[in-house]
Structure 1
Amino acid sequence: MERYARLVLSFAALLLALAPTTLAGQADEAPLRIGVIDLDAAAFGSPAGQELAQQLTDFQQDLAAELQARQEAVRAVELRVAEADSLTVDEQRVLEREYQDALTAFQRYQQDKQEEATALQNDGRERIRAELAPVIEAIQAELDYDLILNATSPIIILFSERVDITQLVIDRLASETPGGP
Structure 2
Amino acid sequence: MGRYATPAGSSASIERGSARLLVVAAVATVALATPAALAAQAEAVGETPLKVGVINVDAVALQSPAGQAFQQELAAFQEEVLIELQARQETVREIEARIAEADSLSVEERRVLEREYQDALTEFQRFQQDKQEEATVLQGEGQARIREEIGPVIAAIQSDLGYDLVLNSTSPIILFFSERIDLTQLAIERLEAGSP
Partner of 1:16: 35
In the alignment, the residues of structure 2 paired with residue 136 and residue 143 of structure 1 have an alpha-carbon distance, to the nearest angstrom, of 11
Q: What is the deviation of 1:153?
A: 1.3
* Contact 1:35–1:145 (8 Å) recurs in 2: yes
CA–CA distance in structure 2, aligned partners of residues 23 and 8 of structure 1 = 18
Residue 134 of structure 1 is matched in structure 2 by: 152
Query: What is the Cα deviation at residue 17 of structure 1?
Result: 3.5
Question: For 1:31, which of 23, 26, 49 is the aligned residue?
Answer: 49
Q: Deviations over 1:3-33 (max 9, x none)?
A: x487444322345243112211232x32222
Contact 2:99-2:110 within 8 A present in 1 as well: yes
Contact 2:166/2:174, CA 8 A, preserved across alignment: yes
Q: Report the structure number with the largest CA radius of gyration.
A: 1
Asked whether the 8 Å contact 1:148–1:159 carries over to 2, the reply is yes
Going from structure 1 to structure 2, the CA distance change for 1:9 and 1:53 (only over 3 Å counts) comes to same
- Cα deviation for residue 146 of structure 1 reads 1.1
How many angstroms apart in 2 are the aligned matches of 1:168 and 1:19? 15
Identity percentage of aligned residues: 57
SS of 1:86's partner is coil
Partners of 1:136 and 1:110 lie apart in 2 by 38
C-alpha separation in 1, matches of 2:174 and 2:145? 20
Q: CA RMSD in A?
A: 2.7
In structure 2, what is the equivalent of residue 59 of structure 1? Answer: 77
**Residue 163 (structure 2) aligns with:** 145
Deviation string, structure 1 residues 17-63 (Cα, Å, up to 9, x no partner): 43112211232x32222221000001111111111111111111111
Is the 8 Å Cα contact of residues 40 and 49 (structure 2) preserved in structure 1? no
State whether structure 2 residue 117 is matched by structure 1 residue 99: yes
Higher relative contact order (CA 8 A, sep 6+): 2
Q: Counterpart of 1:88?
A: 106
Asked if the contact 2:28/2:174 (under 8 Å) is kept, the reply is no
1:79-114 superposed Cα distances (whole Å, 9 cap, x missing partner): 111111111111111111000000000000011011
Would you say 1:161 and 2:173 are equivalent positions?
A: no
Q: CA distance change for structure 1 residues 15 and 101 in 2, over 3 Å: closer, same or farther?
A: same
Q: Is the 2:70–2:142 Cα contact (8 Å) retained in structure 1?
A: yes
Q: Which residue type is aligned with residue 43 of structure 2?
A: A
Structure 1 unaligned runs (5+)?
Answer: none
TM norm structure 1: 0.85
